[in-house]
Amino acid sequence: MDIRIFKNEQEIGVAAGQLFCEFVKEKPECVLGLATGATPVPTYNYMAAQYAEGNVSFKDITTFNLDEYCDLPKEHKNSYYSFMFENLFSKIDVNPENVNFLDGNTTDPEAESARYAEAIASKGGIDVQLLGIGRNGHIAFNEPADAFTGESFKIALTQSTIDANSIYFDDIPMPRYAMTMGIGSIMKAKKIVLIATGSSKAEAVKGMIKGEVTPQLPASILQQHDDVVIFLDEAAAALL
Ligand code: F6R
């Protein structure tokens, strides 16, 4: 694991944003795996700023997002689809036809999982996968469990995740289920970039890097991937 520690989330936004921009400049038709949540926002801001300044174009990239809430219209302001357009896609020149999401409203999660796996494979796999980490060590919505997951699937969110994310839902109750890429699909990415900021992530970060590899702390599986870059701020790195 290549662990890089920065003072704060703004510095990480620049460093991780540079990594993505450089990658896109080298391989304009690359496939990026993207995450939502508060953590990647400074990175997305940096990428959008670089585009606005004419330093990089994203017109040929393809993206696959990690997860999407179930039982929430795609157009709802809290869907991850809306999040990505608000925070990144509307600010860069990505072709909207090349952005991909799991369908949280599918009536057949297994068929949806197969569709997503095929779509990723047809693009040659994910070149760089961006991840955040939950307070309980989840990546995407792979919650602590008795076994590591495989391809995408529908999951019941844990109370820890509901507590963390329900602050964003001011009009309707937060969904209790999500469609998420599984650990197996995430581990297929050629390169993984994980960002963790803030003291609430320190315990999970310690387990991910120094603990045993266990599905009870899903991010610990990243110890077994051979190209992982971890960006931490000082608060998230405090227990290392
Ligand atoms: C979101 C995702 C989640 C978040 C995690 C951290 O697509 O996959 O695993 O990365 O819940 O969320 P934030 O960044 O809001 O602390």
pLDDT tens, position by position, 80-129? 999 999 999 999 999 999 999 999 999 999 999 999 999 999 999 999 99
Residue 238 forms part of a structural domain? no
For residue 133, the CA-to-ligand 1 centroid distance in Å is: 6
Taking residues 20-25, what's their average pLDDT?
A: 98
Please give the pLDDT value at position 4. 98
32-66 per-position pLDDT tens digit: 999 999 999 999 999 999 999 999 999 999 999 99
In a domain, 203, yes or no: yes
Average pLDDT taken over every residue of the chain: 97
Q: Is 43 left (phi over 0), alpha (psi -120 to 50) or beta?
A: alpha
Q: Say what the pTM is.
A: 0.96
Question: For residue 232, how far is its CA from the centre of ligand 1 (angstroms)?
Answer: 14
pLDDT confidence of residue 160: 85
Report if residue 240 sits inside a domain.
no
Q: Which long-range contacts (CB under 8 A, 24 or more apart) does 47-55 make?
A: 47/17, 47/20, 47/21, 47/88, 47/92, 48/88, 48/91, 48/92, 50/17, 50/21, 51/91, 51/92, 51/93, 52/91, 55/21
Closest CA to ligand 1's atom 2: 140
Q: How many domains does the chain have?
A: 1
- Calpha distance 206→212 (Å, rounded): 10
CB of 138 within 6 A of ligand 1: the answer is yes
d(CA 179, CA 133): 17
Say if 171 falls within a structural domain. Answer: yes
For residue 67, give the ligand 1 atom closest to its CA. 7
Q: The domain containing residue 61 runs over which residues?
A: 2-233
CATH at 94:
3.40.50.1360
Q: Which residues are catalytic?
A: 67, 136, 138, 143
Whether the Cβ atoms of residue 36 and residue 84 lie closer than 8 Å to each other: yes
Residue 239 forms part of a structural domain: no
